[in-house]
Structure 1
């Protein structure tokens, strides 16, 4: 027994991204605990949460709205990655890896949202 959203590749990738961001944020300085660390964790977790929450709605229009929230949260994570890199909390290599994950997830989510017809 499982929920249909668990089969979605975008949900699976969003779950992975959330865990990666959580592990990365634990390594940030203590001064970032209630700032960048908390923000990147919440934004990255929000992606999978919105994908799953939207999937149980009856309306395709509502589902598209929740996918839009997931897309915006992904863009937010990208900005936090830039902040982390500028503050030298992550290496260029880490940044590029996480950035690519976000880029791919964002484009996959947009494509998925575009396939959902509004009646």
Structure 2
């Protein structure tokens, strides 16, 4: 069992969620049940799955939840790119979030590899 609140990956993922909520609050109201909701759910899923996996009994279970977090981070990445392509997010606001997301993905990949050995 790991203390998720001490994990750098969880802290960085939580920062991303905050950024996503601020950014998506600027989306048009007609997107409230579309991209706004979907982006927020996939962003929240990342630290949530890290926390849930950290609370499990084995490293194998933790690895499984890290895999789910990885899928959510790829989903979020795609949704953010789509939002930019649709003109909902300017590149200048998107780049720092994507940079942070890539960093979380790299840490996640390293953790998954660690638990694969």
Normalised by the length of structure 2, the TM-score is 0.94
CA shift digits 1:35-73 (9 cap, x unpaired): 100000000000000000001111221110100000110
CA shift digits 1:4-33 (9 cap, x unpaired): 110100000010101110111111001100
Matches within 5 A, 1:1-119: 4-117=3-116
Is the partner of 1:116 in helix, strand or coil? helix
Aligned-partner Cα distance in 1 for 2:8–2:58: 21
Q: CA deviation at 1:116?
A: 2.0
Q: CA deviation at 1:117?
A: 4.9
Q: CA deviation at 1:90?
A: 1.1
Aligned-partner Cα distance in 1 for 2:65–2:91: 32
Runs of 4+ in 1 over 6 A off after TM superposition: none
Aligned-partner Cα distance in 2 for 1:10–1:35: 27
Aligned residues: 116
